[in-house]
């Protein structure tokens, strides 16, 4: 098959052997897949996954990345049931259960991902996609499950004020999850006007350009207008070094902060400053299965449309250049790849 192969630190589109499904695995033909910033982080910061058996960056082995996907069943490994006949559209949480161990699909050489024409999923992790649900919408379940996880973890009430920092795919997913929960005031801060406009599409009520004012200034205005005194719930979706400390320095007493951004280059915060304000800071750990498959249900049932986050649909040959754009934080929140185009 053709695939965008990571080898010796470089992505090259070339022929590579077809994956062979093992016991309980489905062979899936990729219909739609999305580029994620964590693909770049996997390439650029392999030191952050050392010691975690779910991941393996081996420069001497082919790695086919891609973990946001939907595909069509084309084959079955041993011990599969008849639950997903050939031709069934399926997706899955990006975890391959292999020999009793979990492998992250697209971030381990033994779990080839969807940046190729075919990939593998574990049958008992798979879910069928109903007719009429767009492929590209299903390919975005994974990033939108991340926002769902953090908003669920925050236990935010409808009368509290949310501040979302960053309007990339994760920020937009947080906005969508906040909107579903009836949160009345959703402040979104992002330097890019296009992304702020997208945030409004998903339900943001206040849009902030950080060059002109801070999100906490917008928060104070919302408090005054609504007659509230509640501390904000901050969902940080950027991951830039120093940002968490700046939030701690600027936020009011008892702020709840959820760090959804990928802090792959390392960072530090002042525990003293955080303690003096009594802030709560929660880092990654999700999405969990309830978030992932719940988001899939929302997409399939028409309660969530993630497709406005898509800015471009490209071919497999264009993927390496678009990964470079993602590395530079350029382009739309999500770029979709159709490997068979």
Residues 147 and 252 in one domain: yes
Domain around 264:
143-282
pLDDT tens digits, 259-301: 998 776 778 999 999 999 999 999 877 899 999 999 999 999 9
The DSSP code sequence of 297-318 is HHHHTTS---GGGEEEEEEGGG
pLDDT tens digits, 299-332: 999 999 999 999 999 999 999 999 998 888 888 9
Asked whether residue 296 is assigned to any structural domain, the reply reads no
Residue 85, pLDDT > 90, answer yes
φ, ψ for residue 36, nearest 5 deg = -125, 150
Q: How many domains does the chain have?
A: 2
Residues 223 and 316 in one domain: no
Residue written as tokens 């979302």? 164
pLDDT at residue 47, rounded to an integer: 78
Asked whether residue 243 is assigned to any structural domain, the reply reads yes
Give the separation between CA 161 and CA 222, rounded to whole angstroms. Answer: 8
CATH of the domain at 165: 3.40.50.720
Paired sense of beta strands 126-128 and 89-92, if any: antiparallel
Mean predicted confidence (pLDDT) in 235-244? 92
Q: How far is CA 18 from the centre of its chain?
A: 26
φ, ψ for residue 275, nearest 5 deg = -65, -40
Q: What percent of the chain clears pLDDT 90, i.e. is strictly above it?
A: 87
Residue 139, pLDDT > 90, answer yes
Residues 166 and 248 in one domain: yes
pLDDT band at 100 (very low <50, low <70, confident <90, very high): confident
Residues 21 and 62 in one domain: yes
CATH of the domain at 77: 3.90.180.10
Q: Identify the three-state secondary structure at position 150.
A: helix
First to last CA, the chain: 14
């Amino acid at each position: 098959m053709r695939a965008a192969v990571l080898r010796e630190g470089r992505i090259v589109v070339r022929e590579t052997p077809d994956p062979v499904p093992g016991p309980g695995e489905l062979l899936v033909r990729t219909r739609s897949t999305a580029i994620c910033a964590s693909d770049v982080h996997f390439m650029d910061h392999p030191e952050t996954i050392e010691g975690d058996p779910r991941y393996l960056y081996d420069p001497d082995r082919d790695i086919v990345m891609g973990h946001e996907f939907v595909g069509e069943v084309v084959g079955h490994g041993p011990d599969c049931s008849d639950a997903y006949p050939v031709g069934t559209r399926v997706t899955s949480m990006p975890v391959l259960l292999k020999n009793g161990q979990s492998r992250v699909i697209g971030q381990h050489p033994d779990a080839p991902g969807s940046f190729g024409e075919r990939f593998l999923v574990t049958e008992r992790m798979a879910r069928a996609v109903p007719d009429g649900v767009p492929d590209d919408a299903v390919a975005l379940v994974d990033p939108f499950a991340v926002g769902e996880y953090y908003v669920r973890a925050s236990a935010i009430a409808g009368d509290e004020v949310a501040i979302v920092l960053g309007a990339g795919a994760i920020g937009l997913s947080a906005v969508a999850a906040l909107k579903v929960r009836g949160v009345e005031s959703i402040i979104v801060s992002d330097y890019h006007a296009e992304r702020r406009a997208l945030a409004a599409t998903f339900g943001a009520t206040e849009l902030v350009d950080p060059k002109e004012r801070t999100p906490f200034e917008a928060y104070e205005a919302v408090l005054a207008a609504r007659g509230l005194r509640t501390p904000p719930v901050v969902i940080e979706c950027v991951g830039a070094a120093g940002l968490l400390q700046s939030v701690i320095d600027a936020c009011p007493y008892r702020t709840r902060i959820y760090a959804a951004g990928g802090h792959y280059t390392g960072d530090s915060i002042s525990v003293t400053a955080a303690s003096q304000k009594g802030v709560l800071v929660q880092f990654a750990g999700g999405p969990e299965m309830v978030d992932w498959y719940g988001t899939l249900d929302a997409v399939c049932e028409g309660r969530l449309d993630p497709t406005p986050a898509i800015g471009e649909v490209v071919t497999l040959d264009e993927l390496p250049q678009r990964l470079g754009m993602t590395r530079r934080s350029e382009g739309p929140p999500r770029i979709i790849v159709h490997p068979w185009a």
